[in-house]
Amino acid sequence: MGLFDRQIQFINEVEQAVEEEFRNAVNRFGFVMKDFIVNKQLFREGIDGQGERLPGYKRTTIRLKIAKGDPVDRTTLRDEGDFYASIQIDAFDDRFEVTSDVPYDKYILKRYGRDVLKLTEENIQEFVETYFVPNYKNYVNNKITE
């Protein structure tokens, strides 16, 4: 047995666990990612995952939004709230996916693009720093104390 075999094994285990721990973070805190998309991006800013402003509403929609008291200075994609409620975050080994399962989501995605269901770089970074990194540090600390 080599002098540093245990250390090399530890490094290999910790390195291999990155994807699994990220998946665990997404599974545990996916609701935060959904909140970033729904509230921070779409409702407050009216932007997609690229940070681009969504195209404005048509005149008829603006009248309806004014009548309901909804914001008209930005496109929020929120009417009854079904689209927002249907957004799901699913984690896989090498990625996560954001989907919606309302019957009309294909029309939303066609008009506004798939990036409406994407996190901005800033929001991904915030998620990683706030949720993934602390959980991964706990994982590494637990491995050290084993």
| 26-77 pLDDT tens trace | 999 999 999 999 999 999 999 999 999 999 999 999 999 999 999 999 999 9
The pTM assigned to this predicted structure is 0.86
Based on the number of CB atoms within 10 Å of its own CB, is 61 exposed (0-12), middle (13-18) or buried (19 or more)?
middle
Q: Please report, to the nearest 10 degrees, the dihedral formed by the alpha carbons of residues 52, 46, 110, 81 taken in order.
A: 160
Q: What are the φ/ψ torsions at residue 129 (nearest 5 degrees)? A: -70, -35
Query: So what's the pLDDT on residue 1?
Result: 56
Element (H, E) at 46: none
Which structural domain range is residue 134 located in? 5-145
Amino acid at the residue 106: K
What's the first-to-final CA gap in the chain, in angstroms?
20
pLDDT for position 110? 94
Res 13 pLDDT > 90: no
Q: How many structural domains comprise the chain?
A: 1
Cα separation, 144 vs 119, in Å, equals: 33
Summarize pLDDT for 64-113 with one digit per residue, the tens.
Answer: 999 999 999 999 999 889 999 999 999 987 889 999 999 999 999 999 99
Q: Which of 132, 99, 119 is nearest to 24 (CA)?
A: 132
* Stretch (H or E) spanning 47: none
